[in-house]
Amino acid sequence: MDYGLKFRAVRTAKMPEKKMSPATIAFAARLAVAVLSGLAALAEIKPVAVVGFGGFASFPTVFAGWLRRTPVYLHEQNTIMGLVNRVMTRFADKIFVSFEKTAGVPEGKAVFAGNPSRYEKLEKIDKKEARSRLGLDPERWTLFVFGGSQGAASINRSLYEFASANRDKADLQILHLTGRAKFDEAKKYYSEALAGSALRIDARDYLKEMELAYMAADLAFCRSGATTLTELASLGVPAILSPYPFATENHQEKNAKSFVDAGAAVMILDKELNGERIAAAIEELRGDPEKLRIMAERARNIYREGAAVRMAETLSAHLR
């Protein structure tokens, strides 16, 4: 039990990419087993409501909740409804959305709740203190680069190019979360290509204390998934966003555009990523501290505080 929460595993089934193939029949069988697994879990837990947060893993339990006539609620993190959430809207009492203009939500069901952040009530420390806690140089301008828990190959490659071309930057340091599968490659590259360089690179496969990295950063360079954007906003971190190009219905680019339009970020498409392109963006922002300050402020203004409480209160009101 982590964080005081009980965990109950439920089977899942992912839809095959090719429709009307032998895999489709196998999928139907796995889905039926997954729904039965969800029914068994709900029979044991006896919940007063089921809340789904999207993705194929949520479908069996949400559908099982509907079969049991348990009130069903959904939460959509992105600017456009995902496939599973769209399928499940017909069974949902209400749909919590993170963006006021979320596309695809049936009229009358949307509740603009925001997206909860674990950092909402966290007391911020200054950049120098955060850098010191991470073992970084407290005085250097700091770029925080990450691509999610699995890392992002194109972000990593563009950073390698940037680092090689800027090895003389003695006033710059980069905290690079490479992803566990890509860490050995990054470590090898940096040790060979940047030996004796003035630029400081701290490459790590994973970081549990993400809040310290956000607080240490002058600028982030990352993907634009909903959780990443929520964390950037809740802590007021300006960013260069490079949306994952294969996200369903290109929702990451739409997410990023909402931040760009608000003045909280700049966007570089994945196909445009290279060392020269990100160098231009980084140097422009490094040379304009006031713009970075405004971007940070506007990122913080995007965050809708109290999302978790708002969702809980809505659930409570509907279940009375």
- pLDDT tens digit sequence for 112-147: 999 999 999 899 999 999 999 999 999 999 999 999
Domain positions in the chain are 22-115+305-319, 127-302
The tokens for 157 are 């490659």
Would you state the pLDDT for residue 100?
85
> Which residue do the tokens 């995007």 mark?
302
State what percent of residues in the chain have pLDDT above 70: 97
Q: What is the pLDDT of residues 237-294, one digit of tens each?
A: 999 999 999 988 899 999 999 999 999 999 999 999 999 999 999 999 999 999 999 9
Q: How confident is the model at residue 230 (pLDDT cuts 50, 70, 90)?
A: very high
Segment 38-55 mean pLDDT:
93
The pLDDT, as a whole number, for residue 25 is: 75
Query: Given a cut of 80, is residue 24 above it in pLDDT?
Result: no
Residue 303, SS3 per DSSP: coil
Distances (CA, A) of 317 to 75, 90, 313: 17, 21, 6
The residues near 125 (Cβ < 8 Å, ≥ 6 apart) are 133, 215
* HSE value, Cβ hemisphere, 13 Å, CA-based, for 269: 8
**What Cα–Cα distance (Å) separates residue 295 from each residue in 158, 196, 237, 240, 315?**
23, 34, 8, 11, 34
**Fold match, 22-115+305-319 / 127-302:** yes
Q: What band does 215 get if pLDDT is binned at 50, 70 and 90?
A: very high
| Mean of pLDDT over the chain | 92
pLDDT for 132 equals: 98
CATH T-level assignment (fold) for domain 127-302: Rossmann fold (3.40.50)
Element (H, E) at 295: helix 289-302
User: What superfamily does domain 22-115+305-319 belong to in CATH?
Assistant: Glycogen Phosphorylase B; (3.40.50.2000)
Confidence grade of residue 18 (pLDDT, cut at 50, 70, 90): low
Q: CB neighbours of 159 closer than 8 A, spacing ≥ 6?
A: 145, 174, 176, 221, 275, 278
The CA distance from 71 to 92, in Å, is: 7
Give the pLDDT score at 115. 94
pTM of the complete model beyond 0.75: yes
Per-residue pLDDT, averaged over 26-40, amounts to 91
* Residue 212: pLDDT over 80: yes
* Average pLDDT of span 183-195: 93
Handedness of CA 191, 172, 244, 227 (dihedral sign): positive
